[in-house]
Amino acid sequence: MLFARTDISQYINNSYEPVWQSLHEVPIVSVDFGGGKVLKRTLNGNIATYIVTADGTVVDILPGIYKPDTYLSQLKELHKLAVDCQFESSRTRVSANLTQYHRKMAAKPVHLTGSLEPQRGPANLQTNLETDTRINETLRRHQIHQKLALTTPKLSQSLTDWLYKEVLHCDLSDPYLGLASTLAGRPQ
């Protein structure tokens, strides 16, 4: 949905060096209704957009799915920050500037309003997207800023593992992605 929009894909292609990485196989679920009727589809996954410098220094991370306009706005803001990092003459100054930026962002109070519960049915897709965007821009980004305020990491598997497990609540080391008890018919 996000990357299919021309304005977003053009901005990414013109402003960044985009790289896509799949972290695991896409889960496919089949439901047999009997009588030859089988519903087969993929489960929705999670996404994270890392903004990194040419040497792999993490500038910031956009976690999860966003409303397109908010996503594009954040990409533009983070592009300015990334460009500023590229023109710094010293890696030490880049690290200090990023640490200062993340400390400032982590110090902002988190205000989350409205329901956090997903709404059922296709008519609620927009509402759910708005809820996801709100959660991503408040709670999840706050966690990321707290983490990046402590250190200016290079892009690494350990950072990705932390992000998916602690922020997106999708442990990449779990082959059932947190669905084992649901699939076995036992409530969690």
What are the pLDDT digits (tens) for 55-98?
Answer: 899 999 999 989 999 999 999 999 999 998 877 767 788 888 99
* 125 inside domain: yes
Check residue 45 and give its pLDDT.
66
* 8 inside domain: no
pTM of model > 0.85: no
How many domains does one find in the chain? 1
* 6 inside domain: no
CA gap 105, 148 in Å, rounded: 10
DSSP 153: P
* 54 inside domain: yes
With cut-offs at 50, 70 and 90, classify the pLDDT of residue 187: low
* 42 inside domain: no
Question: Could you report the per-residue pLDDT of 130-184, keeping only the tens digit for each?
Answer: 888 999 999 999 999 999 999 878 999 999 999 999 999 888 888 877 777 777 7
CA gap 66, 132 in Å, rounded: 7
Check residue 125 and give its pLDDT.
60
* 64 inside domain: yes
154-177: b or e for each residue (b if 16 or more CB lie within 10 Å)?
A: ebeeebbeebbeebbebebeeeeb
CB atoms closer than 10 angstroms to residue 106: 18
Q: Which structural domain range is residue 92 located in?
A: 50-183
* 45 inside domain: no
* 9 inside domain: no
